[in-house]
């Protein structure tokens, strides 16, 4: 009976996701096949549906997105990163500092415990932040809630921004990187790269390894001409939906009930970080020959995979966006423990929320 009920819930989620994705597609929102499933999953999760995306499915979806990103790597963007590496690193450090400042403020106001606020406000990959937070003794539920609230807010803001810019200025950025009808051998080679890249990265315990591994391996082979990257549209659509469901189903009735007292502070902090990143993006367009949408996505404090999907759908410069996002992820992982200790010291001695 439970299995039948679960299958019925998945079928209902699929149907609602399809309707929302179709509506968002008609409204010309980028990443509609991510947004629709994510919004549907939030509704199902909060309403009490006991659904969960299997971890292998989520990792496989990340590997597919990694290959999609790898296809867009070209010598021009590599030259840009090498030529303006110092400036890009400065933007990354400023964004990390903004997240740390927000975490410090949440700690001082006793909205969240110190180390939890540190990991929750870190602008890196959500899954990696949750894993490291648990390793360093923070409450992974609070960190996951804060991280995925921010992912949802960033996805909605970035999609709305891309939609607005498309109306104001027409098409932006590069053309779509996905061939219409890839050959069977090309698809097989791409899936092989996804499997090998993800397997190696996960074995080496790289952060967001299922995404980063195929992205790095595929980019190297594609840029050097040793492999051609291509994926059929239905497979990409499935990857988008799985990532959207994975994020949305994290929002359950129980977690909302437990975190409701912190939600206003989390939302305010999230919007503040997004606004700060938007300001950094505007400054970046004055220093580099890139459009605002590309700069906004590059500096957005969202999930690596979600931002990649939006960048592709909005026809932004995917390589530049993911290069900055990946650099920031590794920067956060290197500085995270030190920042967590510094922010934890900001907690008032009396009435602290730390266990």
Q: What is the per-residue pLDDT across 133-190, written as a single tens digit (0 to 9) for each?
A: 655 666 666 777 777 788 788 878 878 877 777 666 544 444 444 445 567 888 888 9
Is 40 contained in some domain?
Answer: no
Most confident of 14-23, 92-101, 249-258, 318-327: 14-23
Residue among 118, 204, 347 at smallest CA distance from 129: 118
pTM for the predicted model, two decimal places: 0.68
Sign, CA dihedral 142-148-152-154, equals positive
| Domain hosting residue 177, numbered range | 54-344
Is 49 contained in some domain?
Answer: no
Is 175 contained in some domain?
Answer: yes
Task: Indicate the average pLDDT of the chain.
Answer: 78
Q: What is the per-residue pLDDT across 14-36, written as a single tens digit (0 to 9) for each?
A: 999 999 999 988 877 767 888 88
- Tell me the C-alpha distance between 208 and 229, whole Å: 20
Alpha helices in the chain, H assignment, sequence order: 2-26, 32-46, 55-70, 75-83, 85-108, 114-121, 126-135, 140-169, 184-203, 209-223, 233-248, 253-259, 263-287, 292-299, 304-313, 318-344
* Per-residue pLDDT, 178: 44
- Helix H, strand E, coil C: the string for 241-261 is HHHHHHHHCCCCHHHHHHHCC
Is 6 contained in some domain?
Answer: no
Question: In the chain, how many domains are there?
Answer: 1
Is 351 contained in some domain?
Answer: no
Is 326 contained in some domain?
Answer: yes
Is 266 contained in some domain?
Answer: yes
Region 96-119: mean pLDDT is 77
Is 13 contained in some domain?
Answer: no
């Amino acid at each position: 009976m439970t299995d039948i009920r679960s299958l019925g819930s998945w079928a209902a989620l699929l149907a609602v996701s399809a309707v929302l994705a179709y509506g968002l597609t008609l409204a010309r929102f980028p990443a509609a096949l991510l947004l629709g499933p994510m919004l549907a999953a939030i509704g199902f999760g909060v309403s009490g549906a006991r659904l969960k995306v299997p971890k292998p499915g989520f990792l496989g979806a990340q590997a597919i997105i990694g290959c999609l990103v790898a296809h867009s790597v070209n010598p021009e963007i590599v030259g840009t990163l090498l030529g303006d590496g110092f400036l890009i690193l400065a933007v990354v450090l400023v964004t990390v500092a903004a997240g740390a400042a927000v975490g410090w403020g949440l700690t001082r106001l006793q909205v969240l415990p110190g180390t939890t606020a540190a990991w929750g406000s870190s602008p890196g990959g959500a899954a990696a932040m949750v894993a490291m937070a648990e390793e360093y003794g923070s409450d992974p539920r609070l960190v996951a809630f804060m991280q995925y609230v921010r992912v949802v807010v960033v996805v909605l803001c970035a999609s709305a921004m891309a939609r607005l810019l498309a109306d104001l200025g027409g098409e932006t950025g590069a053309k779509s990187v996905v061939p219409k009808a890839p050959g069977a051998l090309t698809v097989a080679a791409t899936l092989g790269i996804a499997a090998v890249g993800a397997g190696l990265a996960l074995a080496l315990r790289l952060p967001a390894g299922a995404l980063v591994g195929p992205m790095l391996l595929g980019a190297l082979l594609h840029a050097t001409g040793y492999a051609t990257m291509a994926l059929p549209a239905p497979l990409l659509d499935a990857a988008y939906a799985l990532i959207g469901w994975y994020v949305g189903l994290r929002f359950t009735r129980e977690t909302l009930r437990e975190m409701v007292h912190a939600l206003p502070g989390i939302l305010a902090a999230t919007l503040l970080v997004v606004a700060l990143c938007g300001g950094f993006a505007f400054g970046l367009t004055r220093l580099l020959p890139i459009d605002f949408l590309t700069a906004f996505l590059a500096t957005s404090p969202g999930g690596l995979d979600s931002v990649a999907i939006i960048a592709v759908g909005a026809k932004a410069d995917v390589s530049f966006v993911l290069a900055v996002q990946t650099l920031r992820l590794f920067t956060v992982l290197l500085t995270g423990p030190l920042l967590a200790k510094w922010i934890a010291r900001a907690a008032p001695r009396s009435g602290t929320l730390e266990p």
